Structure 1
Amino acid sequence: MVRGLLCVALLLATVTTRAETWPDKDWAKGTPIEGPAVDALNAYAFPRRDDATRQGIRTDALLVIRDGEVIYERYAMPTTASTPHLTWSVSKSLMATVLGVAYGESRFKLSDPAARFYPPMKQHPSVTMADLLHWASGIDWQEDYEYAPLKSSVVAMLYTRGRADMAEFVAGMHTARAPGEAFRYSSGDSNLLSAALKGMLGHKAYMSYPWDALFKPLGIHNATWETDADETFVASSYAYLTARDLARVGLLMARDGRWREQQLVPKAWVDFNRQPFDHYKAGQDEAMPGGHWWLNRAVQGAPRPWPDAPADTFAALGHWGQALYVMPDEHLVIVRYGDDRDDSYRHNELLKRVLAAVQP
């Protein structure tokens, strides 16, 4: 009887314990998913493309990692597995992850004023690093692109008045409300974080820091991150990575900042990234903000933004359909690159179909 119980216990342990696979130079291949649910996923993500009008869902890359192994991968030309793709605002979450390494090195505290590291922010002396990470600096900001370009702060920062020194442009803007009191999505806040990191490190160390601190330890060797004329990384917009390389960042976050035996980013930092911002109001954006990541959380009676995905799902999201989704309990990391121009793509629809496709 005792022997029988022991066998059952060992069997249960075998079933519930998942092997921990990590990518080396490349990702390991798992058992590819197939069947009608995969056909439905392909039909949604990769419909016939109309390059003349650029209408409809236009997926450039879709990659699904389960338990550290590739189980689905598809691309639409000209994007391939070796193409570093523009991530747009996924860059913001990448900067937050780089800052997580600096946080683990005790280079700053969340309560530190940004002006401690970036002197032009003395015009906004009460804005803390946490405020910037919550997109809650209180700086008057208009995050519009195609819909109101003449009034857009972000268009002015990236392409006209502010493009030579983007952080200085943002720091010179007026305050609209007290910092930390309200969420207001701002690419400017993200570029102030980049400038603050530069102040912590000094120019020379800063220029290689994303690679030294994050990319190289993860095995990412082909990342590009553009700077402005002041040689500050454009943390809001201009990082380029392959889908496979961006998935490495997702796996790091799925495993609470640990990469193999190294705690590359403190777990406390990942917890902060995944902690909802207290002053967010339902409907202000497509998902709930955490610490420069997006969360699938219900708020003030409103449902989760992606109701068919688990509540622990969190994501890095970018313009025209760029996305890195992390589902820790499902052991899934999903990268989706796109060229969507008409707002037809839906995060929840893709996630629902991926989850259906990966079910045993």
Structure 2
Amino acid sequence: MAKDIGIDLGTTKIVIYDRSKGMLLDDPCVIAKDTESGKAIKYGAEAYEMMGRTPRQIVTIRPVRSGVINRYTETLKMVQYYLRRLCAGAVMKPRIIVGVPYGVTEVERQAAFDAMIAAGAKRVYVVEEPLLAALGCDLDISQPRGRMVIDIGGGTTNVAVISMGKIVVGTCLRVGGDAMDDALIRYLRRTYNLTVGERSAQLIKQSIGTICSDDTVQCLAKGICAIEGLPKSVMLSNADLKEALEEPCMDIVSAVSRVLEETPAELLADIQQDGMTLCGGVSALKGLDTLLSRSSGYRVHVVENGAYCVALGTKYFWNYTDPLRRTRLTSDRQGTVMQ
């Protein structure tokens, strides 16, 4: 029997979910490549640990940017590597669901499909991530009732109102955890003349973990003085993180507001009653739900383990075993490609 595999191919990590076995993989979406031989030498966590620490002939590559494939060859090699490792001994090729951000171009959608086929898939479903995220959040999206999902990942923020298995109103903002890390890097350099790398910024953000004014959390940030070029340390607080992340957070607030403005009145009434669902890796940032709730006037529910909602949603997608029911959830595109 063929394996049913779900892949959340994100900007910061790749998550692979097996319908029968559960979570198989949660690894950074990074490849280390030897530029002289052109061969990939490390994948995932091992490659991530090499970022910023490699000799000249070794480069670390993040093949997915803003939720879509940016480096096709490297993405293909990575998916092939993991499928061979996880599906070793399987007689039949797997069926694969892969998520893509809302509103991607046909070229970007086709790239995801082609990569999965080339990696060894028997059949591929390309599904928009808000649908998978909603399923992974255990929302019943098959009914004529408005469900609003805010999925904030590493490279994108997907905001969508779903009813009867379809996205009624939605948008994809190319702002997520990476944009927040970049904003923090700029803030530290501007405010404290402190230069830190991408990994350090991510660790600082995770260590503080809150933008709530009521909290008092501190973190020692270590880097290089932008003026003297010497090692430097600065004690940061959640107030620093709140100020640093103001711009990307307000971009997300604006995206949510735009979707609400375009949502039909009957569906707005449903959202007023049920609230909005916040998921994705960045949903763990404390205070973000409060910011979204205050700005929109709607309750916001934060999903536990929100980083895995898209991957978990692939499990429930397979429950649409009847092709007609599955087609209602998606819409047939190019043969086995579905949006």
- The one of the two structures with greater contact order (alpha-carbon pairs below 8 A, sep at least 6) is 1
Query: Whose strand fraction is larger, Structure 1's or Structure 2's?
Result: 2
Q: Quick check: TM above 0.5?
A: no
Report the TM-score, using the length of structure 1 for normalisation. 0.27
Report the TM-score, using the length of structure 2 for normalisation. 0.28
